[in-house]
Chains A and B, each alone.
Chain A
């Protein structure tokens, strides 16, 4: 029995275990490099100091409130990008003229460093969470539109022929064949989009010194509290992980057979 459970445990949890051990190994290497003086501790603090800074950051810096602020901005901007990007993508898929006219521009929007346009958004929306959310939304929009178009266009022609042979209406064709078929690609777009949204939100919080984790990182860096700064960055990673875990669950719930 024990002989059987060993290999099956490794097969099931091996990749996660390997990932965690690799991370631990990297942390230990950095610890050794910093402590031996090869890496300057005023550039990168020892990982053990960062771990010790967690308690201080949580207790003294209202981390939960800042975490919540960033998460709420992320949810609003992320879902707004999905809510607006999906219909625009569907429209562009239907209209070849608009698609040809707009696709390059939307691609350029995805590649543009929107975060640097913060002065314009500050003028338009003031120094408020509105600016942060709108900038996150704008940056997150392009990947969803592009992937929506790509997903719909990559529907296998035979599935469309099945729909045609069953005399499906265009609405039935969209909701029962095109959209479900495009879902995996759309989710790739959402993952990309939410990465852009999070980067923009934390970046703008940092730049305009307002709101959640970005502002905290700014303040800690201004105080030259390097362990605290890196601990703050770890919380940003946590937000990212949290959203991606939720997204993964939603994706496997929506596409059980894939």
Chain B
């Protein structure tokens, strides 16, 4: 049987017919509606959709932070219903601990696992080096820029060597140039570690720059609209954004997204009108 774009030969993560509803009775809102896709070992997959389409809900389900859902998110044969050691999460908001230095932030998961001090410092040092912050080990987050702090969070997640790296719009608060350069860093790390990665984003260029496949979501309820394979050459850098092929993918996915984004915008405007009408 031939595989379609939503299936992989050797999936590290399977999202199988996942449904998540919030509220009760007449007020039920379906945030995620029968979503299915998977991520192969070493693959970089992005989930893209307009604001409010249920991306963050999906992130929380895969990360085990939301356990009450229908369907299954599986790692191997195990259904996820709580945070799983195989999944390392990077959050949208800045999440470093301000009272810890960079190295202590990165070594934090190893400290919880009871790894000895010299080993955890060695491992933390390795990942700090990998994200390009070697000269900032003793600095506190307050002394770093937003992009540097997000790199600390990524190093802190990678230090546990998770099977799957799960990121929720990690560059959302950064400017476009920093975002492109951090994209390069992520691509480099992902290729170096052959890291299975699932990125949740609303940024089209970021998704095309980084991904092997992109899952396009519909606006409310969040369903899989289409899965696009990105056949841009690897190793890949941000130089790719100038290529014709890149532009072609961006235009193609935008065609799919435009309708959903327009629905989202219309929905927000009518909600704002209702609020204004009710004073």
Contacts and interface: CB of A to CB of B under 8 A. Distances in A.
Given A183-B99, A258-B99, A161 B141 contact: no
A257 B142 contact: yes
Contact of B85 (A164, A167, A168, A258): A167
Nearest to A172: B112
Contacts of A64: none
Contacts, number: 57
A256 B95 CA distance: 18
B77 to A, nearest CB: 20
Given A159-B97, A257-B99, A257-B101, A166 B112 contact: yes
Given A162-B91, A257-B142, A168 B112 contact: yes
Interface in B56-98: 63-65, 82-83, 85, 87-89, 91, 93-95, 97-98
Interface residues of B, number: 26
Contacts of A181: 97, 99
Dominant SS among interface residues on chain B: loop
B126 interface: no
A40 interface: no
A180 interface: yes
A165 interface: yes
Interface in A133-177: 156, 158-159, 161-162, 164-168, 172, 176-177
Interface of A: 156, 158-159, 161-162, 164-168, 172, 176-177, 180-181, 183, 255-258
28 contacts: A156-B93, A156-B95, A158-B93, A158-B94, A159-B95, A161-B65, A161-B89, A161-B91, A161-B95, A162-B89, A162-B91, A165-B65, A165-B83, A165-B87, A165-B88, A166-B108, A166-B112, A166-B160, A167-B83, A167-B85, A176-B112, A181-B97, A181-B99, A183-B99, A257-B98, A257-B99, A257-B141, A258-B99
